Amino acid sequence: MLQLGIQEKDGFVREETQNGFAEGNYKLGVKTGKWVLTYPDRIEEGNFQGKNRIGQWLIHYSKSDFYEAGLYDEKNLKTGEWITFKEQNSEVTIKTTYQRGVKIKEKKVDQLQISTIQLKKG
């Protein structure tokens, strides 16, 4: 669809960003659904609603075997409990609590197993 001489993105795209690249879907020029963002030091997977991250996100730090998982609210802010864990044994090492994007509590944890997060292999 053309609008003022600019073509709106629609469907799946893989595009370069300032620090890497992004893969996901646009609907009438708006980011929607699942996206994968790749940076030199990490890969982030989750959903977009317009310009904002929303819902559950998984971050894999490329130079280590650590992952971070948690939720973004409708204003693109970290919210609730985020966990940091190792892929190899799925043991949580840090639980961090956020409120409106502000870290309010951080706690080291021993021997808490993750059973609800699906890691993407490949």
Residues 6+ apart with CB under 8 A from 56: 46, 47, 69, 70, 71
Pair 107, 93: CB distance under 8 Å: no
Domains along the chain with CATH numbers? 9-113 (2.20.110)
Whether 115 has a pLDDT exceeding 50, the answer reads: yes
pLDDT tens for residues 38-81? 999 999 999 999 999 999 999 999 888 889 999 999 999 999 99
Tokens of residue 17, six digits: 């960003």
Q: Residue 31 is encoded by which pair of tokens?
A: 């980011």
pLDDT tens digits, 73-109: 999 999 999 999 887 666 778 999 999 999 999 998 8
If you average pLDDT over every residue of the chain, what do you get?
86
| CA–CA distances in Å: residue 95 to residues 70, 86, 99, 100 | 10, 13, 14, 16
Residue 3 is predicted with a pLDDT of 47
* Residue reference for tokens 């639980």: 95
pLDDT given at position 107: 92
